[in-house]
Structure formats: C-alpha cells, structure tokens
Amino acid sequence: MTRQQRRLLFWISTFIFFIGVTPLLLYSFGYRFSFEKFTLLRAGGISIRPVPVTGAQIFIDGKLMHETSFLSRRLFLQGLTPRPYHIQVYKEGFYPWEKVLRVYPERVTEVHAFLAEEIISPPTTLLEGTYKSFSFFDNNEAYIQLADNKNKKIYYSIGNAELVQEIPGGQQLILPVLPNDLSTKLSARGAKGSSYDPQGERILWWKGNQVWIMWLASDAALPLYTEEREALVYTADTQIRDAQFYPRQEAVFITSGDSIVIAELDGRSKRNEYNFYAGTEPQLLISPQNDVFFILDKGILMTRPIL
C-alpha cells in the first residue's frame, strides 16, 4: 500500500469515526432528532402519577411502561424526544384514563391521572321519604337538614344514623362569603350559581348548560396543567343545577338533568368525564370530614364513600 493510499485510508477512517461518534455524543448530551420539526432538540421528560396510586398500568403510545405499587407510585421517563405522547392508564374497577401530552425540550411534563371508580352497585339507602331538598346543618357536618315540599324540616344524624327532631346544640352552617370584587366578576358574567373554595383560591361558576372555573391565586400559583386563569370545564345537554369540587382531587362534580358526572380539571388535550349517578333529579352533598357523598333523589337519601 502506497503512502498516498494509507493517507486516504486514514482520512476515510477519521470521517467514519466522527460520523459514528457525533450522534452518540449528541445523544449523551441530551439531544434528540425530532422528525416532527426535522431538527435536533434537547430531550425532555414525563412524570405520570395515577390517583389512586397503586395497581395502575401506564401505557405510552400503546406500550405498557409501568405498573404502580406502594414502592413505585409513578412513572418517570427522561431523555424523550420532544413530541406528543399518547398516555393511557388502566386500573381494575376504575374507568380508563387517557390524554395526549406533549413533551417539551429541557422540561418535565407532569400529570396526575385521576381515576374514577367504575360505578356498578347502587348507592346505599339511608332514608326513604318525600324529601325535596337537603343541606348540612352545621360546619362539623354532623347533621343533614332535610325539607319536604311543604318546607317542613327534619334532621338526620350522620354519626348515629338516625332522624332527630331537634339539634342538641352545635353551630349552624356558615358558608364562605365571596369577596366583593369576585361577586362583581360573577355578576358581570351572568353566573346563576357558584361554588367557592377559599383555601384553594378558586371558584366554580355556572350559567345555562356550562360550568367554568376561575383561579384566584397569582400566575405563579396556577396548577401545572394550565396557564389560563379561567377555563370552561364542562358543557351539559341540560341546565346546570350545581357544581362542586371533588375533595382532595383536581376534579369536580356537576349535576344536571337526571345525572351527576365527574369531570377532571386538567384540560390538556381533553377532559376525562365519568358517570357518577343517574336517576331522576338528583342532588349532591359532599362530606370530606366523614369521607362520604350524600345523594338525594326521588325523596330518598343515599350515600357512597369517598375514595
């Protein structure tokens, strides 16, 4: 082999070496090739935490990636090419959950996949009568005040599971008062009803067949899933009668027509919605202190546990 041939072979080998090593170096430094944008981008990540946290299967783009347990309650992946990913979460006894979430360069996309229990059995009946409305009597959620069509009132003791004619002391229910500026905003929007959460600094309001949410905290305190201070949460086929926050979850209960549904607040790609109760004209009370829901329909008082 001549000297010229050896030199040529050296430069060819060097060229092949750099061609082979460059992608590996770029990969190790966190770069990925985006076929969507046909360019190199810094990699991102995704964190998925199902609620409830254990026994859930997490799929990404149709491939099973993780099954949660007490020791491993979420899926965290890094080094992902920035693009949309189809996420699905399944757990036995619960409705399936899915979203299309985008991974961005040098960022971790976080999501809490709220799973609602698949309703198979009817709620437990507590009382049967001709009751037309109900509410909590006290802030301790110890008594429910029931009224019939003549507005005659009677009280149900949650702790003793019995009817009583009079309440043995205790403070009556005091609802949180809306600040004046918030009342003005809702009036300007023509709101027909609202549900205020002063601790979470947020409020639900409804008009016609639509339910909206408004976040009242600063932009820095907004949930990770939104950059909007106000958003449409749900559109029903009939008039909205009530909307309430789901305790300790990023979801809401909405009552309209003959049903109560659950809608998640995370509106990225879509909001997952679940059936909670179907009847005639149901009403809902939520008791976080007792970890139960109360439903009044056709004069019957019923209950379900909060999971």
Alpha carbon 6 to chain centroid distance?
67
pLDDT, residue 181, reads 85
For the stretch 24-39, pLDDT in tens is 444 444 555 555 655 6
pLDDT, residue 177, reads 75
Domain boundaries, the chain: 3-33, 39-114, 124-133+175-305
39-114 and 124-133+175-305 in the same fold: no
Q: Which fold has domain 39-114?
A: Immunoglobulin-like (2.60.40)
pLDDT, residue 290, reads 87
pLDDT, residue 217, reads 84
User: What residue has token string 């990636």?
Assistant: 65
Stretches where the chain sits below pLDDT 50 are: 21-29
For the stretch 148-202, pLDDT in tens is 888 888 889 998 888 887 776 656 666 677 788 888 999 999 999 999 988 888 9
pLDDT, residue 212, reads 97
pLDDT, residue 115, reads 93
CA distances from 202 to 45, 108, 182, 242, 268 (A): 29, 25, 11, 16, 19
Q: What is the pTM of this model?
A: 0.83
pLDDT, residue 46, reads 95
What class, spelled out in words, does domain 124-133+175-305 have in CATH?
mainly beta
pLDDT, residue 42, reads 74
